[in-house]
Structure 1
Amino acid sequence: MIPVRDDLRALDGYHSAQVDVEVRLNTNESPFPPPAGFADAVASEISRIDWNRYPDRAALALRTDIADMHGVDPAQVFVANGSNEVLQTVLLAYAGPGRTVATFEPTYQMHAQIARVTGATVVEGERGLDFTLDPAEVDRVLTVHRPHVVFLTSPNNPTGLVEPRERVEQLLASAPGLVVVDEAYAQFSDWSALDMVDESRPLVVTRTFSKTWSMAGARLGYLVGPTWLVAELDKVVLPYHLDAVKQLSGRIALRFADDMNERVALLVSERDRISAGLRALPIDVFDSGANFVLFRPTDVAGGTVWQQLVDRSILVRDCSGWPRLENCLRVTIGTPDENDRFLTAIADILKA
């Protein structure tokens, strides 16, 4: 057996428990399939693909459509196989051996995971007990470690917290390197850092089609950033990395923006309903600007609640084993019927 790289031996892969249940509320996907007409449109367009030819390496048509949606230049857009490959490409270009990447924990686990896989050193800033980020802690991390890349996730995963605009401004004013704002759940929030992107700032904003566009099965993500940064990513991305079907599907999805906006409004309403229902129980509930809610039962162990939900064929995410998230669970917002079932079940569990 050939040993893996020394710096990878202590790492584990990313895992999310998958259990055969009737109600799956653990992976932050959209609970709805794509809008009516999407699948037929994709099928029709696929029939005209030149299968014997490589796809457009630059994915220019898709980048142009995304740029039009955000009012930017296509040269400011980079697309890849899910936002995780977007993050990996950025870190391959701007992190790696001898460089430092900063995160503020708890936050999305893959930021640190991908950074370590590229060979970078990861440093972790600490959030408060309410998961907010103290400006003094930001200054400490930037001053002591001088990171080449710093991540800020808004809304944050797994906490749901929406970072204030002034926190991004603080990073841009003080960070010595690249600032990456991960906005996988931005459509559910009340603000975005996209309007802060310009040629003079080392800022990129990443997005995904997995959530509001109901395309988790397609794995498509993108970033918006300065043109000079996007141009550098071409040095590390694999040739023809984005296949023709994915490029086509992404363009077709953008035709259904009105449907997406309606779903966002419904999910935000359901999120608020779930938060209110949980607050009526012996549970600490954290404010969320995403399509999920993080909560902590106060009288029963989180792992016990998780198992009793599974016993009722409902799966949520058990975060209780993660650092700084003792006893915490996270529920993805599902359909109204799924949310009813979840609220009824957890009320029965805690009242018992």
Structure 2
Amino acid sequence: MLKYRTGIKNLPTYDVVERDWNIKLNANECNMNLPPVVEERVMSGLSRLAFNRYPNTETESLAEQLAGAFHVQRGNILLANGSSEILEKMFFCFGGRNHKVVYPRPSFSMYKIYADLSNSISVPFDLDEEYRLNAGKFVETVNTNKAHLAVVCAPNNPTGTHIPLEDIEYIAQNISCAFVVDEAYIEFDKKSATEIQHKYPHMIVARTFSKAYGLAGARVGYMIADKKITEMTGKVFMPYHLNILSAVTADIVYQMRHEYEPRIAMMIAERERMALQLKQMEGIKIYPSATNFILMKYDKAAALNEYLINIGIGVRSFGNAPGLENCIRISAGLREENDTFMKIVKEFVENHTEE
């Protein structure tokens, strides 16, 4: 009989299986593929690759470019397969047996899974009813528990909540353990912890190309941290862990990131337009968002989600998840997709108002 490691059986599965949606608004992806001028450069760059060689200069080029953009040294940058891999490795490096990890709830669902995988003790910190983070109480929780790792998602997923930079700095000033700021959606918020990171050597910023830059399929992320941290945590990564195709693609995309500025502005505008229209519908509550998605609460969320599934529209329903009861997360799609979605929701709400 096969004997698996204790605890694996009880781990939840992160469901990544998708169906062929007519409108897909469920994964916080960029709603457009590469800009044509960027795609042309990427295809040209990929055509010149030596596929028979391990990644080397390609990953170095990307890391050096990121270091220059953030005014840090090459040794302060560590590349990964999405920011998810960065986060996983942080839990492995700073977590472990009898090590406590503090993170917000509700937030990115993988934090709990990473804690379990690393045999760490989870200490979820509950956000308030409006999904705001109380920085003072968060600090108190970290210090009281003598945590080895603290994580915040800024802005927060799945609530969309903006966390003021002043609160991030307050936390950094008042805890001494490793402090990870997960900035997967920062391009939609603009106030980054990288502005103050030089003052706090225990702060680690994790970022991704998956959201604003539309490279979810390439899986590229990176972290910015003190050189001592990148050197130590780099030991838990596999050799050549970032493939050459992803590295070259991300390098070109970041060189041409100005091409994405109009797209990011458009996604923000669509997010705000959707929020304004949805909050006018009876029984729907919309929470402020600083991301490329919005979170809505509706007492008939389960029925609405089922209806949307039946007509081929994918959104993220949270069912009875703690703190997210009756909540649905909607990514900002293309304008015509958003219009169709809002029209259908409006009709559903009107037809179920008196039930």
Using structure 2 for the length normalisation, give the TM-score: 0.94
Could you tell me which residue of structure 1 aligns to residue 315 of structure 2?
316
Question: Could you tell me how far 1:134 is from its partner in structure 2?
Answer: 2.2
Query: Shift in Å at residue 285 of structure 1?
Result: 0.6
Q: Relative to structure 1, is the Cα distance of residues 125 and 58 closer, same or farther in structure 2, using a 3 angstrom cutoff? A: farther
- 1:340/1:58 CA distance change after superposition, 3 Å: closer
2:300 alignment partner in structure 1: 301
The structure-2 alpha-carbon separation of the partners of 1:86 and 1:58, relative to structure 1 and needing over 3 Å to count, comes to farther
Task: Name 1:284's counterpart in structure 2.
Answer: 285
> Are the equivalent residues in 1 in contact too, given 2:65–2:251 (CA < 8 A)?
yes
d(CA) in 2 for partners of 1:57 and 1:253?
Answer: 17
Q: How many residues align?
A: 350
What pairs with 1:241-252 in structure 2 (closer than 5 Å)? 241-252=241-252
The residue that corresponds to 1:229 in the other structure is 229
8 Å contact kept, 1:178–1:202: yes
Distance 1:112 1:176 in 2: 22
Pairing 1:142-161 to 2, within 5 Å after superposition:
142-161=142-161
Match in the other structure for 2:334: 335
Kindly state the Cα deviation for residue 17 of structure 1 after the two structures are TM-superposed.
Answer: 6.2
Matches within 5 A, 1:43-58: 43-56=43-56
Question: For residues 79 and 267 of structure 1, what CA distance do their matches in structure 2 show?
Answer: 26
More moved, 337-346 vs 165-174: 165-174
Q: Match for residue 107 of structure 2?
A: 107
Structure 1 stretch 94-103 or stretch 336-345: which is displaced more?
A: 94-103
Residue 235 of structure 1 aligns to a residue whose secondary structure is helix
The CA distance in 2 between the partners of 1:213 and 1:135, in whole Å, is 30
Instruction: Report the alpha carbon displacement of residue 52 of structure 1 after superposing the two structures with TM.
Output: 2.4
1:200 CA drift (Å): 4.5
8 A contact 1:55–1:244 mirrored in 2 = yes
Distance 2:155 2:207 in 1: 12
**Superposition pairs of residues 203-282 of structure 1, within 5 angstroms:** 203-282=203-282
**Residues 57, 242 of structure 1: 8 Å contact kept:** no
Structure 1: gaps (5+ residues): none
Alpha-carbon deviation of 1:58? Answer: 9.0
* Structure 1 residue 8 displacement after superposition: 2.5
Alignment of 1:76-225 (within 5 A): 76-198=76-198, 200-225=200-225
3-state DSSP class of the match of 2:236?
Answer: coil
Amino acid at match of 2:158: P
Counterpart amino acid of 2:207?
Answer: R
SS at match of 1:7: coil
Change (3 A) 1:57 1:258: closer
Which residue in 2 is equivalent to 1:20? 20
User: How far is 1:136 from its partner?
Assistant: 4.2
**1:35 matched to which residue of 2?**
35
Distance 1:251 1:44 in 2: 13
Q: CA deviation at 1:310?
A: 2.1
Distance 1:325 1:179, change over 3 A: same
Q: Per-residue CA shift, 1:43-99, capped at 9, x if unaligned?
A: 322232222221118922110111222232222111111111111222222222231
8 Å CA contact 1:148, 1:177 repeated in 2? yes
Residues 70 and 136 of structure 1, relative CA distance in 2, 3 Å threshold: closer
Cα displacement string for residues 256-286 of structure 1 (whole angstroms, at most 9, x for unaligned residues) = 2122111110010000000001111020110
8 Å CA contact retained: 2:176, 2:202: no
Aligned to 2:346: 347
- Two-structure CA RMSD over aligned residues (Å): 1.7
AA in 2 matched with 1:137: K
* 5+ long unaligned stretches in structure 2: none
* Residue type at the aligned position of 2:258: D
Question: 2: distance between equivalents of 1:112 and 1:175?
Answer: 21
- Cα distance in 1 for partners of 2:48, 2:17 equals 39
Secondary structure of residue in 2 paired with 1:270: helix
Alignment partners' CA distance in 1, 2:99 and 2:110: 17
Residues 125 and 138 in structure 1, CA contact (< 8 A), matched pair in contact too: yes
Which whole-Å CA distance do the structure 2 matches of 1:305 and 1:19 have between them?
Answer: 18
